[in-house]
Structures are given as C-alpha cells and as structure tokens.
C-alpha cells in the first residue's frame, strides 16, 4: 500500500459553453446525431487568450485550497498534457510561475488521455524519495487542434483542467499537521502499446514533420483519430487489464464502489462498464456537459464526485485512463 495520499482535488473549465449544434456546424451533423453517438450535450472551449497553463493553474488553485496548503509547500508539480502552451519549456514551468511555487521541481508528462494516472505514478515516486507535497494536474485544450469539418473528432472534445494534491505519509503539514484525509493511493499500473500509436495522432509540428505552409494547408496540425480502431483497442484490452490490475491490488470486483474513467465517449463507456463486471460500482460521468477533456477528464470527474459527496470512508475508487499512445493507466484509491 502506498504511503501517499490525495489531500484535495480541484477543477476548472472555461466560461464559454459550446452546444453540439455549434461544435458540429461545419461537420454537417446536428445535436441529435452527436447525442446518439456520444451522449455528449455540450462542452467548454477556451477563450482566445487562454492557454493550457491558465486552465491548469486555475484547477491547481482550487486543489490547493481543498487540501489546505499553499503553493510554497509543494515539492513537485507534474502537468499531464498533450496540448502544451509551447513545445518548450514544459507547461509545468508556466504553472509554477503562475502559482509562485518557487521551491518545486516541475515537469510535464505526455501520455495523452491516460496522462493523469501516469503523472500520479511519477509524483508518487518523487514523494517517496523527497517527501512533502505534490501537485498533479491533467490539462488539455483540444479546441485549438480540432478540424472543424471532421465529425469524428470535433464533436468529442472540450477544454479543461483537473488537479489533485498529494502528500507523503509522515510529511503532511496540511490543516495544521497530522491530518489524514482524502484518498490513499493503494495501487497503480501503467501500460503502453506503441504498435497502436497510429490510432491517435497529430501528424505535424514535431521533429518528424515540422509544420510549414504546405503542411498547414494539408491540415497536419489537426488531431486525428481512428474511432473504430480506438473502440476495438478499448474493448479488447481494458477489461482484461482491469481484471489483472484488481488481482495485483488484492481486491475483488465487487469491492469497487466507484469507477472514474476517462470520459472518452458515453456510448463506449456504457459498453465498457458492462464488460468490466463491477457489480457494486457507480460509474461517474462529466462528459455530458464537458465532453472529452483529454488528460483532464479523470481529475475533473474525480473532483466533481468528491465535491458532490459521493465518496464515503473506506470506499474503493478505480481510476482508469486510456487513449493515445496507445496507453492505459489504472489507480486504486481508498477514500
């Protein structure tokens, strides 16, 4: 069992609400089609002046307030994102600056939609050596990389950020010291499937295909996804990986009370949840109002459930991220 505990959670979404009809206008589909295919009803898109670090910092402030600590108490900040402010420096550097967390070591993690769980594992490792507190943020701003004419992708994504504050056991200074609250991390598992890396891509903008005018005209700056391939990947891999994960963690499926998955697609999640065989679990959703927010979707949904009072002491919570890479990450929390 981990010696690291989640002390607080936070989330932020932009003010602009975008309906299905608005998001899908150039793609030639309407609200009814989007709802039937995805269960998404609206999403939030960032304002012109907002970047990923702005969303991340806002979620971080909410999480720090929830945990009862200040930014100068942080040992490490990890930002999970696949839509950074810039290729360099890491988006976490901008978050550090915005928060005034001068004493923290900071870095980014890119595991696309599994990023929050991968970042949790990285931060847990740092705290095991260094102690203190960590801020882990999942933040993505997909509206900037969506092709408005691609109905397979433009309808799916929103912008947002979610954050958690971690504390190493024995180093907890929150709420006056000695307080054990939130959720203990009991187990984490990470999986990567590079042979499937072409299922989700942004082709241009890196060292392989630098963007030039020709590339921009060809749309290489846009996010692309093989939806059928992604659904097959999830159906073929995630249920078995969850079964193995629970076995490794020493729990049986009916002990899980809450399932907080990546908010990929509501229709796909219904099918996945049925295949997981978690008879006493509640699956938590935020996708109807926020859509798929990439690495932010798991922490946004965790924060929403926590603030709604959904969790009781002793409840076991399964976090599941899956997506580009391809990758999958799972975390077992005990509230």
Active site residue ranges: 113, 262, 292
Going by their DSSP bridges, the two strands 316-323 and 327-334 should be labelled as antiparallel
Contacts of 182 (CB under 8 A, 6+ apart): 5, 6, 7, 8, 9, 67, 335
Chain centroid to Cα 42, Å, comes to 18
Q: Which of 124, 139, 136, 60 is nearest to 297 (CA)?
A: 139
**What CA–CA distance (Å, rounded) separates 47 from 22?**
15
**What CA–CA distance (Å, rounded) separates 273 from 205?**
36
State both tokens at 71: 């930014």
Helix-, strand-, coil-residue percentages of the chain, each rounded to 5: 40, 25, 35
Contact 59, 10 (CB under 8 A): yes
């Amino acid at each position: 069992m981990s010696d690291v505990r989640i002390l607080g959670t936070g989330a932020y979404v932009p003010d602009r609400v975008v309906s299905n009809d608005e998001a899908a206008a150039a793609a030639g589909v309407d609200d009814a089609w989007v709802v039937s295919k995805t269960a998404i009803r609206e999403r939030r898109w960032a304002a012109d002046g907002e970047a990923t670090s702005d969303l991340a910092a806002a979620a971080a402030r909410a999480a720090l307030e929830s945990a009862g600590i200040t930014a100068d108490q942080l040992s490490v900040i990890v930002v999970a994102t696949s839509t950074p402010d810039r290729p360099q420096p890491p988006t976490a550097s901008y978050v550090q600056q915005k928060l005034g967390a001068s004493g923290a070591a900071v870095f980014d993690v890119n595991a696309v939609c599994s990023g929050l769980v991968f970042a949790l594992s990285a931060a847990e490792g740092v705290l095991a050596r260094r102690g203190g507190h960590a801020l882990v943020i999942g933040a993505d701003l997909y509206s900037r990389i969506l092709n408005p004419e691609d109905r397979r992708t433009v309808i799916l994504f929103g912008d947002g950020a979610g954050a958690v504050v971690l504390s190493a056991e024995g180093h907890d200074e929150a709420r006056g010291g000695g307080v054990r609250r939130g959720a203990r991390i009991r187990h984490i598992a990470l999986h990567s499937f590079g042979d499937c890396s072409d299922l989700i891509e942004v082709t241009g903008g890196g060292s392989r295909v630098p963007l030039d005018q020709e590339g921009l005209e060809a749309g290489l700056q846009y996010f692309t996804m093989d939806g059928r391939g992604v659904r097959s990947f999830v159906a073929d891999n995630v249920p078995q990986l969850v079964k193995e994960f629970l076995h490794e963690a020493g729990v049986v499926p009916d002990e899980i009370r809450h399932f907080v998955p990546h908010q990929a697609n509501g229709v796909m999640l219904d099918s996945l949840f049925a295949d997981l065989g978690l008879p006493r679990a509640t699956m938590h959703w935020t996708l109807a109002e926020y859509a798929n927010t990439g690495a932010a979707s798991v922490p946004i949904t965790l924060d929403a459930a926590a603030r709604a009072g959904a969790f009781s002491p002793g409840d076991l919570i399964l976090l599941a991220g899956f997506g580009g890479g391809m990758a999958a990450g799972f975390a077992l929390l005990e509230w």
